[in-house]
Chains A and B, each alone.
Chain A
Amino acid sequence: MKSGVRFILWTAVALLGALALATIALHRGEQINALWLVAAAVCTYALGYRFYSGFIAAKVLALDPQRATPAERLDNGRDFLPTNKWVVFGHHFAAIAGPGPLVGPVLAAQFGYLPGTLWILVGAVFGGCVQDFVILLFSVRRDGKSLTEMAKAEIGRVGGIVAYASVISILVILLAVCALIVVNALKQSPWGTFTIAMTIPIAFLMGVYLRRMRPGRVLETSAIGFVLVLAAIWGGQWVSQTQAIAKYFTMAAPALAIALIVYGFAASALPVWLLLAPRDYLSTFVKLGTIGLLALGIVVMHPALHMPALTKFIDGTGPVFAGKVFPFAFITVACGAISGFHSLISSGTTPKLIRRETEIRLVGYGAMVAESMVAIMATVAACVLEPGTYFAINSPAGIAGQLPEKAASTISAWGFPVTAAGMQALAQSVGEQTLFNRTGGAPAFAVGMAHIFSSSLGGQAVMALWYHFALMFEALFILTVLDAGTRVGRFMVQDTLGHAWKPLGRTSWYPSVLATSGLIVFAWGYFLWQGVRDPLGGINSLWPLFGIANQLLATVALCVATSIIVKTHRAKYMLVTLAPLAWLVAVTFAASWHKIFDPDPRIGFLAQARKLALSGGSSRLIFNNRLDAVVTGALIVMVGLILLESLRQWFGILSGKKAAQTKESPFVLTRLAKEQV
C-alpha cells in the first residue's frame, strides 16, 4: 500500500477512535450504543498494535528474524517445536483467556461503564500487552526459561524466591476466588448445578472414548462432548421442573463448596487422560465458539447501554465491593488490562513453540489485545442490564437485605429503581428461583449475555436456555482453571518438597501425590470456605485480594523486564516497562494499604476484625479477617523486597558501579529456509 493511502487510513482510524472515546467519556444522562465501546476498543488496539508494538519490536527488543529460537535449536518434537505463528497465537490465547476478563469487568461496572472501559484500553495497550510481549521475548532469548528462573538470574536470589512465593500465593487465592464464583452462581440453582455436574461424567466419557475407541480424534470427541453438554443444559430445565429430582440438585453454598473441594482433590489426583485433558479440550471448544458468538451478537444486535458512565459508587460505598474507584477499579479489572498471571504463560509453554522472533509481536502483544477485547464484551454484557437489575443480582444480602422486597427498596433508594416483582419475573424467565444476591459476576454476565442473544435468536422463549448456556460456559472455564491450577500447584509443591526429601518430589509416587494434592486443595479450600461463610458475600474480600496478588505478580514480571532493558539499553527505553510498573506499584500498594488499615470495616480487614470483636462476632470470622490482612501484608513485603533489589541494581548499572550482564543465550544463526522466515 502506498504511504499516502496508509497515512490517510491510519489518520481515519485515529479520528474514529478519538470520536468513539469522546462519545463514551462525555455522554452524561443518556444511553449510548455498545458499538461506541467496540469502535473505541478496535481503533485503540489497532493503533497500539501498529505503532506502539512496532516501536517496541524495532527499537526496544530489536526482534531479529535471523536469530534461531529455542524451538529451532532445541527442537525435540514435544515441548520445543517450531510452530506456525497462528497456531501459537491460538495456543497462547486459549491459555490466557479464562474467566478473569469476563468477571472483573462485570464487577467493576458498579462504578459505571467508563472507569473499567478506559482502564481496559489504556492498561492493555501500555501495560498488559507490553508485559506479555517483552516477557515472551526475554524467555525466548533464554531458552524458554520461566519467570522465576529469569527473576533469579536477572535480579538475584531474592527475586527468584519472591517470584516463586508470589506464584504459589496467587495460585491459591485465584483457585479460591474461582471456586467462590461457581458456588455463588450455582447455589439454589438445580438447573445450573445439574448442567455443571453432568460435565464430569461427560468428561469421563470423552476420556474413555478418546483412549479406547477413537484414539487421537480429539476434535471429534470434543464436538460429541459439546453436543452432550447442550443436551445437559436442555435436560437441566426438566430437572429443575421435576421436584423429586430437583431437590438433589438444589444446594446451599456450603454444600457446593464441599463438593468443589472434593472435586478439586479428585481432579488433581486422577490420571490426566480421564478428567483433566478431556475437560480442557471441551472448555477450549466452548470458549472459542462462545467468544466468537458473543462478539457477533454484540455487533449484530448493537444493544444500548443502560448503566450510566459513572455511578455514585466511585466514592467507595459500592455494594458489589467496597472501595473508591482509585485504586479498586484497577485491581478489580486485571486480566483484561494487565495480569501478572500471563507472564507465567509467556514464560511457560509459548516461548518453546515460537518459530521466529518476529512472530512474538503477534503472539505476545496480539493475543493480549484479543483478551482485552473479551473484557470489553463483558463490560457490554454487564452494562446492557438495567442498573437496578445489575445491583440486585450483585449486591450481597448483608448489604441490600435478605428479603426481595427489602433488597428492592434498598437498591431503589440508591437511585437505581428495581422491583421485587420485576426481579421475580426475570428470575422465572431464566429458570431460576431468585436472582437476588447472586454475587460473583457470573450470573450478571449470564443474564446480560442471554439478553443479547435472546434478542436475536429465539426471543424471550429461549432466554432461560441462553442464560444456562452462559452459566455453563463460565463454570466450565472456571473448573478448567481449578483442575489445571490445582495440578500445577501440586507439582510446584512437590518440586519444593523434593529438595527436602526426594520421594516427595516424585510425581508418580502416590502418597506424595495425595499429600501434596491435599495440601493445595486445603489451602484454596480454606479461603473458599471463608468466602462462603462471609456475611458480606466473600467476593468483597477475596476478589480484591486476588486482584492485588495478580497485579503484584505483574509488578515482579515488570521488574524483571525493566532490569533486562536497563542492562541492554541503560535508561534509554526503560520507561516502556517502568511506566506500567510505577502505575501498578501505586495501585497495588494503595489497595493493600486500604485492605489492611482502612477504618471502614467493609474495606479494611483489621477494621472488620475489630468490629466483629466488639459486637461479639464469631472468632473464626475475626481470625479470617486478620489472616487476610497478614496475607496481603506478606505479599506487599515480598514485592517490596524485589522492588528494592531491582532499584539497587538499576542504580548500580546506570551509575556505572555495576557491570550490565544479562543471561541471554548466545546468538545462533537460523538454519530454517528463507521462505520460512
Chain B
Amino acid sequence: MKFLRLIRAVLRELFDEAAYERFCIRSGFGVGPESYAKFINENASSTRSKLRCC
C-alpha cells in the first residue's frame, strides 16, 4: 500500500496535480477554470527553466 501511495504521489507531482492543489490552498481559490487559468499563468514563468533533455 505504501508503495502504491508513493507511486500515486510521484505521478501527481509529475503531472502538476499536487502543485495545483497547493496553489489553491495558498491562494484561497477553489478548484475551477478561473483558478486553473491563474495557476497556469503563474507556472508559465517556471516553464522557462523546464528544459527537456535530448
Contact = CB atoms under 8 A, between A and B. Distances in A.
A345 interface: yes
B16 A174 contact: no
A345 B12 CA distance: 20
B33 A212 contact: yes
B15 A222 contact: yes
B50 A349 contact: yes
Contact of B53 (A81, A215, A273, A342): A342
A344 B51 contact: yes
A100 B33 contact: no
A87 B19 CA distance: 12
B2 to A, nearest CB: 11
Interface in A506-541: 507
A176 to B, nearest CB: 12
Contact of B13 (A90, A273, A507): A90
Nearest to B54: A100
B32 to A, nearest CB: 6
Interface string A326-354: 00000000110001011011001100000
A78 B36 contact: no
Contacts of A217: 17
Nearest to A94: B14
Given A90-B14, A272-B40, A216 B21 contact: yes
A215 B15 contact: no
Contact of B51 (A79, A95, A210, A222): A95
* Overall SS of chain B's interface: helix
A16 interface: no
Given A100-B54, A280-B52, A484-B52, A215 B33 contact: yes
B4 to A, nearest CB: 13
Interface in B3-45: 6, 9-17, 19-23, 26, 31-33, 35-37, 39-40, 42-45
Interface string A423-464: 000000000000000000000000000000000000000000
Contacts of B42: 78
Given A86-B10, A90-B13, A273 B40 contact: yes
Interface in A256-294: 272-273, 276-277, 280-281, 284-285
Interface residues of A, number: 57
A219 B15 contact: yes
A84 interface: yes
Given A210-B36, A349-B50, A550-B54, A216 B17 contact: yes
B53 A77 contact: no
B17 A95 contact: no
Contacts of B20: 215-216, 218
B31 A488 contact: no
Nearest to B6: A86
Nearest to B30: A215
Given A90-B13, A219-B12, A284-B14, A481 B54 contact: yes
A334 B54 CA distance: 9
B53 A100 contact: yes
Contacts of B53: 95-98, 100, 335, 339, 341-342, 344-345, 481
Contacts of B36: 210-211, 215-216
A488 B22 CA distance: 25
A90 B47 contact: no
Given A77-B22, A77-B26, A272 B54 contact: no
Contacts of A95: 50-53
A105 interface: no
List of 7 A-B pairs having minimum Cβ-Cβ separation, nearest first: A215-B36, A100-B54, A218-B15, A216-B20, A87-B13, A484-B52, A90-B10
Interface of A: 77-79, 81, 83-84, 86-87, 89-91, 94-100, 146, 174, 178, 210-212, 215-219, 222, 272-273, 276-277, 280-281, 284-285, 334-335, 339, 341-342, 344-345, 348-349, 480-481, 484-485, 487-488, 491, 507, 546, 550
Interface of B: 6, 9-17, 19-23, 26, 31-33, 35-37, 39-40, 42-54
